Structure formats: structure tokens, C-alpha cells
């Protein structure tokens, strides 16, 4: 299975910098074995989308609304993302769950909306440090999967991203054994729910992925790619991570 490397630019990048980064990624993407997707801030989707159109680099959003349209000031509908050429959307990122109070039910509704619009949802799950230290990591993640994913998730080509909350932006990364244990648990849950289709769902690892640790993390069983934060803002670093995918 081709590995998927997703760059989450978060709230970074004005137009000139975003365009420069997109051009550099397009120039370096030929010949990669992995599939690349970049998720710039909403203000840069049109500019970046125009640059990556027709290239091996795909475009994604960082969030979408559960509603298709209407009086929802400040929100972005899934169809607005597809209108700009997006193929993917990140949903349920820990920063949204924590900073914006998004529940599993909200993530579920947004995932339904993304699928209805023809987007591939990348649904994030993961435990906090307190939950991990209380040995509740698998329990928490299993509950997130059960409540966040709609029945049509596998058929829509949905993707899961495991992001240990304690490893995001901290410089800490889970050990290879940590990743193997959780990814195996996620796979079991997906197969139990979706049958054979659950065995084909890509499970990305996200949490301080960088060029220095990408090869070892991407080689772990059941790791189908990476959700990359800070390192995706540097073209050569992001491309190095993609080159590590085999």
C-alpha cells in the first residue's frame, strides 16, 4: 500500500511563503513512492491549490463544518474545499478537540459532511499524557474510533491518524514499540467494525515526525504514513520524510 504523507501547516503561512513552499514541494515531488498531501490554512487554499494542481502533491483542508451551507459565520463547508480542488480534510485534530471543545459526536458529523462532499476524511485520535499514565490510552482511542467514525468511513477511503497528544509540538515522539502497539490496536478495532475493508484503511502516525525519525517510524507495522506538523513547513525536511516512506 502506498504510504500517505500529510503536511498540516496549521495557522502558519502568508501568501508569499505558502506559494514558495508549494512550488518547492512540487519541484521535489517527482519520483516519490509516497503520496503527498498538504493542508494549508484556509486563506492559502486557493493559492496553494493553483500551484499543486496537476502535480503529485494533493491538497487538503484542516477542518470543515458539519453543515453543508447556511448561516454559520466563519465556518467552511466541505463543498467549499472541493470547490478549491481539495481531496482530503483533517478532522478531529487534538488541537480542535482541546482548543475548540470538539466532541466525538461533532467529529462524526463533520466526517459525514466530508464524505458527502467527496472528500477523504483524515480522522485524528489520540490520548493525553494523563490518560497514558493512567493506562487508559487504548480505552480512550477505542472510544474515539467508535464514536467519531460513521458507517460509511471505510467505503469512502477514510484515513485514521494516531497522534499521541503528548508528542505533538513537544519534540517528543512515541517509541517504535508504542506506535506498534497502538496501531495494532487501531487495526483490530477497524477490522472488527468494517471487516475486510477495515484492513485496508491507512493509519498514519502523527507526533513530532521529522526527517531524523521518519524512516524508523514509517517502517513500523501498520503505519501507513505520517501526519506531519512543524516539519511540513520546511520543504526539504518534508520531502526527506516522504523519501523515507517505502
Q: Does the annotation list 172 as a binding residue? A: no
* Residue in 88, 93, 108, 183 annotated catalytic: 93
pTM exceeding the 0.95 threshold for the entire prediction: yes
How many angstroms separate the CA atoms of 126 and 105, rounded? 16
Confirm whether 23 is a catalytic residue: no
9 is in an annotated binding site: yes
What's the confidence (pLDDT) of residue 173?
67
Is 3 known to sit in a ligand binding site? no
DSSP 40: -
Is 126 marked as a binding-site residue? no
User: In this predicted structure, what is the pLDDT of residue 219?
Assistant: 96
> What's phi and psi for 111, nearest 5 deg?
-65, -40
**How confident is the model at residue 129, as a pLDDT?**
87
Fold of 4-26+33-233: TIM Barrel (3.20.20)
pLDDT of residue 167: 80
Lookup: cell for 68: 453543508
Catalytic status, residue 163: yes
Which one from 163, 183, 222, 237 is the annotated catalytic residue?
Answer: 163
Is 169 assigned to a binding site?
yes
- Would you give the DSSP letter of residue 219? T
List the chain residues with pLDDT less than 50: none
Is 230 assigned a ligand-binding role in the annotation? Answer: yes
- Backbone φ and ψ of 202, nearest 5°: -70, 135
CA distances from 48 to 4, 11, 68, 110 (A): 19, 14, 23, 23
Q: Is 70 annotated as a binding residue?
A: no
In this prediction, residue 127 carries a pLDDT of: 95
Closest CA to 174 of 206, 143, 138: 206
Amino acid at each position: 500500500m502506498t504510504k500517505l504523507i500529510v503536511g498540516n501547516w496549521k495557522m502558519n503561512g502568508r501568501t508569499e511563503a505558502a506559494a514558495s513552499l508549494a512550488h518547492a514541494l512540487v519541484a521535489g515531488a517527482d519520483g516519490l513512492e509516497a503520496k503527498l498531501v498538504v493542508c494549508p490554512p484556509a486563506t492559502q487554499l486557493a493559492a496553494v491549490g493553483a500551484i499543486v494542481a496537476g502535480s503529485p502533491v494533493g491538497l487538503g483542508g484542516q477542518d470543515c463544518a458539519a453543515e453543508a451551507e447556511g448561516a454559520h459565520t466563519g465556518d467552511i463547508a466541505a463543498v467549499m474545499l472541493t470547490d478549491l480542488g481539495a481531496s482530503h480534510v483533517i478532522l478531529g485534530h487534538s488541537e480542535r478537540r482541546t482548543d475548540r471543545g470538539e466532541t466525538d459526536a461533532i467529529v462524526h458529523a463533520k466526517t459525514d459532511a466530508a464524505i458527502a462532499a467527496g472528500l477523504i476524511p483524515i480522522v485524528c485520535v489520540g490520548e493525553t499524557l494523563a490518560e497514558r499514565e493512567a493506562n487508559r490510552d487504548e480505552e480512550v482511542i477505542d472510544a474515539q474510533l467508535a464514536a467519531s467514525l460513521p458507517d460509511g468511513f471505510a467505503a469512502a477511503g477514510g484515513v485514521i491518524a494516531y497522534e499521541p497528544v503528548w508528542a505533538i509540538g513537544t519534540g517528543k515522539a512515541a517509541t517504535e514499540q508504542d506506535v506498534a502497539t497502538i496501531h495494532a490496536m487501531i487495526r483490530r478495532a477497524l477490522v472488527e467494525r468494517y471487516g475486510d475493508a477495515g484492513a485496508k484503511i491507512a493509519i498514519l502516525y502523527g507526533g513530532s515526525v521529522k526527517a531524523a525519525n521518519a524512516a524508523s517510524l514509517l517502517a513500523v507495522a501498520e503505519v501507513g504514513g505520517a501526519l506531519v506538523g512543524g516539519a511540513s513547513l520546511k520543504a526539504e525536511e518534508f520531502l526527506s520524510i516522504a523519501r523515507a516512506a517505502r
